[in-house]
Amino acid sequence: MTVSEQRAFKVKKEYYDDEGRKCSEEEVVVVPVDRFIPPDVNAQIFWLRNRKPMQWNIEAKRDINVTQLSEEQVDHIAKELLNSIDHENQNSD
Checking phi first, is residue 20 left (phi over 0); if not, alpha (psi -120 to 50) or beta? left
With 0.85 as the threshold, say if the pTM is over it. no
Q: Mean pLDDT per 10-residue run, the chain (93 residues)?
A: 91 92 93 91 87 73 64 84 78 62
What is the predicted pLDDT for the residue at 24? Answer: 92
Distance, in Å, from the CA atom of 79 to the CA atom of 61, rounded to the nearest integer, reads 12
Residue 65: predicted pLDDT: 62
Residues 24, 77: Cα–Cα separation, whole Å: 71
Dihedral angle at the C-alpha atoms of 81, 91, 52, 39, nearest 10 degrees?
Answer: -160
Residue 80 is predicted with a pLDDT of: 86
pLDDT of 67: 66
Residue 60: CB atoms within 10 Å: 13
What local confidence, expressed as pLDDT, does residue 59 receive? Answer: 65
Which sign does the torsion angle of CA 82, 88, 90, 93 carry?
Answer: negative
pLDDT at site 8: 94
